[in-house]
Amino acid sequence: MDIINFFSKKQTGSTFKKELTNILGFKPGNISLYKTALTHRSVRENIDENNERLEYLGDAVLSALVADYLYKRYPYKEEGYLTEMRSKMVNRQQLNDIAVRMGLKKVTLFNKLDGSLRVSQIFGNTLESLVGAIYLDKGYKKTNQWVLQYIILPHMFMDDLENLEINHKNKLYGWVNKNGRSLEFETVNERLENGRRLFTVAAVIDGQNIAEGRAFNKKDASQIAAQVAVERLGIVNSDSNGDLPPELL
């Protein structure tokens, strides 16, 4: 039995519908729409059979709903603050963690034998696809209620997010500027993994490779590299000591 047929059989019947209903909190209307939302490209390459288009739609819908939530929650905050908070709420790692806690990993159709998927946030992407499916199936109002009830309120703690630093690149740039050093992000490797490009990006300080990150786009890879660099350098803020640790000299 090939892997596509194996996963297809696993995700048919009343068991799938029951698990999906438990996650959604309501009975889905167009069940095929949700199956597409929960199908990763690693097992279905045809554009009408995997969730990439729904991910695109769900990303836009979720971003709009979060923006609306923040606009009403913080009536006196400026645009920059609201934009930063939205980034914290819908960043890939955050959504991936939420998706796993919600149980999407159990119902998502993906190639479990593909080791490269371990470095990506496919379940966060699947959550966005699910939002897109709910939007098409139930409309804007129902989607807004669902996002608030099942994503924002139980998983996004605003007081914690206000103090969360997620843009590690900005933090690293602040540190190097404060201490008179140079920083570049260089793509050190690029290869195909099951039809997708996997990038390895290095954070290079004063010509020295400090840390590397891997992801399926350069932006995410550079953020991961910056996060690893920040941790290795022990950077709390831009005023931290500008010396490199002995092991990196």
Q: State the catalytic residues.
A: 59, 128
CA neighbours closer than 13 Å in the CB half-sphere of residue 4: 9
Side-chain-facing half-sphere of 38: CA atoms under 13 Å = 26
Residues of the chain by 3-state class (helix, strand, coil), percent to 5: 60, 10, 30
Spatial distance between the Cα atoms of 128 and 64, rounded to a whole number of angstroms: 12
Which CA distances in Å does 28 have to 44, 52, 61? 22, 20, 18
Structure tokens at 61: 């819908």
Q: Half-sphere exposure (CA, 13 Å, Cβ side) for 223? A: 14
**Helix H or strand E encompassing 139:** none
